Amino acid sequence: MRPNLLYYIHHHGHGHFSRFSLLAKELQKSFELTVVCCSRTIEEKLNDSFNVVRLEDKWNSILGDPCFSPIERTPYSFGAQARSDQFTKLIRNKSKMLFLSDYSMELSLIARLSGVPTVIFKQHGHYLNDPLSKITIDSAELLIAPFPNLEEFNPWEDKTIYTGFFSRYSPEQKMLDNFKDVTIIPGSSSELSDSIETLAISNPSRVFTVIGIKDFQSKAKNVVSLGRVKSIKEYLNTKIVITAAGNNSIAEILSLGINPIIVPEERPFKEQLHKAELLEKQNLAVKTSTLELKTTFEKVLAKSKKLDSVNTIKHCNKQAPKLIRESLVETYERVYE
């Protein structure tokens, strides 16, 4: 009988789900996998292939102003109460298990306080001043960083596994020589999406290819919108790629040997800004803003031409799923056996 692994998938953006898709088959070699989520969309996508438990949305039936909750992102609500009740019942119905969190501090702490060892996917960002994050990470058995150690300050380094960036693409040096045209992959960044028109109009000699925005339209004749595509690899034909700093997007772009220009999205713990700063420090990316793109576009492009494209793929690891599975097995055995 394989040991139980509860795997929580956060529903924000596409990165958490994409990471699960990359890991699921490998994890099933050693674990009985149960998916935990709060998203009907994730449940519907996975229900036919996995045991999926969808929890109540914590934002349902709010009882008071969430701004006055002493724990950020956890409102006073019947939804939060129902979610905790569902989760603890799920734990009671299992035998020995690990909880793999990607990514909920509240559920991770509930699991640990319920006697379940927790493993948390580490994100970039500044968490030390957040009491919930600090105690939850302190109490975790293991942190899995789905990126390389970029010389960040990490007070939990002794229990962190750095896997290197990994994506659906095997690391390769994509041979591109088009430094004129531009590819923009905004992710969920509305700020970057809203800047495309201005950039295109200000740079009429360049073609701007936009990937990932459904039904995007532009009045500028030099904008080509491809909408959502199954694989960006087939459409990345420029050396200049502008994107947000979601971990999955960065991993895919770097896996293809391309150094991105990054416009970080605003996040509660500045994780995208932190990631962009670390990548820029290693000469792997240029950190910028929509204002800088609009006002100093040529200077930003000049910076990008000086990036270290030779060593980009050295920070990627196609064996990361195996490393993660082995680390989880070792953690389970250390705790229970």
214: left (phi over 0), alpha (psi -120 to 50) or beta: beta
Once rounded to an integer, what is the mean pLDDT over residues 11-21?
A: 92
pLDDT, residue 93, reads 84
Once rounded to an integer, what is the mean pLDDT over residues 81-93?
A: 95
Residue 142 clears pLDDT 90, i.e. is over it: yes
pLDDT band at 68 (very low <50, low <70, confident <90, very high): low
Residue 104 clears pLDDT 80, i.e. is over it: yes
For the purposes of burial, counting CB atoms within 10 Å of the CB of 90, is it exposed (0-12), middle (13-18) or buried (19 or more)? middle
- The share of the chain scoring above pLDDT 70, in percent, equals 98
Residue 53 clears pLDDT 90, i.e. is over it: yes
**Helix locations, 58-189, DSSP H:** 78-92, 105-113, 131-138
Residue 67 clears pLDDT 70, i.e. is over it: no
pLDDT, residue 189, reads 65
pLDDT, residue 59, reads 87
For the chain, the average pLDDT equals 93
pLDDT, residue 12, reads 86
Once rounded to an integer, what is the mean pLDDT over residues 12-21?
A: 92
pLDDT, residue 69, reads 59
What stretch of H or E contains 51?
strand 51-54
Residue 152 clears pLDDT 60, i.e. is over it: yes
Once rounded to an integer, what is the mean pLDDT over residues 171-183?
A: 83
Give, as one character, the DSSP assignment of residue 147: S
What three-state secondary structure class fits 47? coil
The CATH number of 4-164+318-336 is: 3.40.50.2000
* Phi/psi of residue 307, nearest 5 degrees: -75, 160
pLDDT, residue 75, reads 84
Residue 258 clears pLDDT 70, i.e. is over it: yes
Distances (CA, A) of 265 to 31, 48, 156, 262, 322: 35, 34, 25, 9, 30
pLDDT higher for 131 or 209?
Answer: 209
**Whole-number Å distance between alpha carbons of 121 and 289:** 27
First to last CA, the chain: 15
Cross-strand bridge partners of residue 102 = 9
* Residue range 304-333, pLDDT digits in tens: 999 988 889 999 999 999 999 999 999 999
* Residue range 35-46, pLDDT digits in tens: 999 999 999 999
pLDDT higher for 264 or 189?
Answer: 264
| Other Cβ atoms closer than 10 A to 170 | 11
Residue 70 clears pLDDT 70, i.e. is over it: no
pLDDT higher for 157 or 72?
Answer: 157
Classified by CATH at the fold level, domain 182-315 comes out as Rossmann fold (3.40.50)
* Residue range 197-207, pLDDT digits in tens: 999 999 999 99
What residue spans in the chain does CATH classification 3.40.50.2000 cover? 4-164+318-336, 182-315
Is 3 within 8 Å of 98 (Cβ atoms)?
yes
